Amino acid sequence: MGQRVLLIEDEPNIIEAIRFILSRDGWTVHTHSDGQTAQDRVRGLLPDLVILDVMLPGRSGFDILRDLRADHATKDLPVLMLTARGQAKDRELAEKLGASHFMTKPFSNAEVLEHVRLLARN
């Protein structure tokens, strides 16, 4: 596959799990854990896909997603949002802001891989 994903997540166990799943599938996985500088990291890397946690130190994933969609260079970038809060209002906000897919924690390895593959094809 050879594609690059940027995982913006601050929980080490989730980072390691997703890195393992995707690396085994041929993805190059870059990570970032600070919400304040996440936009700069995305712009500097320009990955094929972003996996974005909602609750991050510095800024929320919703704020980051809003900025990604407002930026010409990243407006069409597939973004898979992750959250421990699976409330309907969070899902609705993610959809309104332009998330490509929304997934709640805990998630299965197969579910993550399936959605990453689907988003990469679009």
Q: What does the pLDDT look like over 46-71, one tens digit per residue?
A: 999 999 999 999 999 999 999 999 99
10 DSSP 8-state letter: -
Mean pLDDT, contiguous 10-residue spans, the chain (122 residues): 88 96 97 96 96 96 97 96 87 95 92 95 78
Q: Which letter, b or e, does each residue of 13-49 get, where b requires 16 or more Cβ atoms within 10 Å of its Cβ?
A: ebbebbbebbeeeebebbbbbebeebbebbeeeebbb
User: How far is residue 21 CA from its own chain's centroid?
Assistant: 14
Residue 92 per-residue DSSP state: H
- Prior bond of 106 cis (ω within 30°): yes
Range of the domain at 59: 4-121
Number of domains in the chain: 1
pTM above 0.75, yes or no: yes
CA atoms within 13 A on the CB side of 41: 19
The enclosing domain of 107 has a CATH number of 3.40.50.2300
